[in-house]
């Protein structure tokens, strides 16, 4: 029923937009720049750097919005129906992509999933059984979707996206590849900086009083982590035992920093900092940015270089 209601709203929205949307599509089909939609900020920023003004680029999930559990609005569906390329993360949280493309007659639209471009980490979590005859929890496997948090993965993603754009738009292929090469050189500088910070640190343990979207990052640079939540779960309250364990570890190991992530209410991190005297610092996953940062033109590299300095403080 929910699906039927959504599609009815979508049809009414298209009718309300009337000839305006149809005329826009007629004017741009086969002409003008590629119309590229990125679901979240990292892909958006990567394409922005690779393509410059050579594509018509849009960000599906608004700055400041929660991306987990996202469902496109009727207006988003109009945009999807007119796009040439959709870049998304893939995995469990993007299961909406193919059904929604089919619903606007765009099953054939080229799409790129970031999880297909790197070696993805498989996670397990325990889930209650939905079957009435099953009386015990079972293990469910899924991919960690935060592949872009590691600069080495970002190199692979940027290279692949440049090739996709070059293939779809051969007239600008050299432009895309040149920009990608410059960007990749900067990403490699960033990678070296993170590696040097970790190598020069007096510890290799980091504490998060928050969700933890940094498995790829931590694994790449050999960091040990302890966090209030496993990954980017939807829970909003950590167990008292977990918070107590984080407080104890900070005290026992004299850890100077407790991290929180972007767009967080910082409640748990504040509690831990208040109990231990540890300094509160942000480690930005670049999953999304605030309206202010977006309007200021903040980039993935800007956020990650800020992370270099914050990580340096945490490991010193």
Tokens of 132: 């009435």
Share of the chain above pLDDT 90, in %: 77
Q: Which residues contact 195 (CB under 8 A, 6 or more apart)?
A: 221
Highest mean pLDDT among 6-15, 71-80, 187-196: 187-196
Cα–chain-centroid distance for residue 60?
12
Residue 18, pLDDT > 90, answer: no
pLDDT of residue 124: 73
What DSSP character marks residue 98?
H
pLDDT of residue 233: 55
Question: What's the predicted TM-score (pTM) here?
Answer: 0.86
Rounded to whole angstroms, how far apart are CA atoms 158 and 191? 14
pLDDT in tens, 144-202: 999 999 999 999 999 999 999 999 999 999 999 999 999 999 999 999 999 999 999 99
Tokens of 109: 């639209």
Name which of 107-116, 230-239, 241-250 the model is least confident about: 230-239
pLDDT of residue 231: 62
CA–CA distances in Å: residue 305 to residues 81, 172, 224, 260, 299? 37, 30, 21, 16, 10
């Amino acid at each position: 029923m929910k699906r039927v209601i959504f599609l009815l709203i979508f049809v009414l929205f298209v009718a309300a937009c009337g000839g305006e949307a149809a005329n826009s599509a007629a004017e741009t089909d086969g002409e003008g720049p590629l119309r590229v939609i990125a679901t979240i900020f990292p892909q958006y920023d990567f394409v922005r750097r690779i393509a410059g003004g050579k594509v018509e680029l849009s960000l599906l999930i608004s700055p400041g919005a929660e991306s987990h559990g996202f469902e496109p609005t009727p207006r988003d569906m109009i945009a999807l129906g007119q796009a040439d390329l959709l870049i998304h993360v893939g995995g469990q949280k993007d299961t909406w992509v193919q059904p929604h493309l089919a619903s606007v007659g765009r099953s054939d639209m080229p799409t790129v999933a970031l999880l297909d471009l790197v070696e993805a980490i498989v996670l397990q979590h325990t889930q209650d059984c939905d079957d009435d005859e099953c009386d015990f929890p079972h293990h469910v496997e899924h991919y960690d979707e935060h592949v872009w948090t590691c600069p080495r993965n970002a190199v692979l993603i940027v290279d692949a996206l440049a090739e996709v754009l070059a293939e779809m738009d051969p007239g600008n292929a050299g432009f895309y590849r040149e920009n990608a090469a410059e960007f990749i050189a900067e990403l490699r500088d960033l990678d070296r900086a993170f590696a040097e910070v970790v190598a020069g640190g007096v510890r290799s343990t980091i504490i998060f009083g928050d969700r933890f979207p940094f498995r790829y990052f931590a694994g790449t640079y050999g960091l040990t982590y302890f966090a209030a939540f496993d990954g980017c779960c939807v829970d909003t309250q950590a167990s008292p035992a977990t918070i107590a364990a984080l407080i104890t570890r900070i005290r026992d190991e004299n850890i100077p920093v407790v991290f929180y992530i972007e767009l967080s209410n910082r409640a748990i991190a504040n509690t831990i900092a208040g109990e231990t005297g540890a300094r509160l610092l942000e480690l930005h996953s670049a999953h999304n940015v605030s309206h202010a940062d977006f309007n200021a033109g903040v980039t993935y590299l800007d956020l990650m270089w800020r992370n270099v300095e914050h990580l340096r403080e945490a490991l010193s």
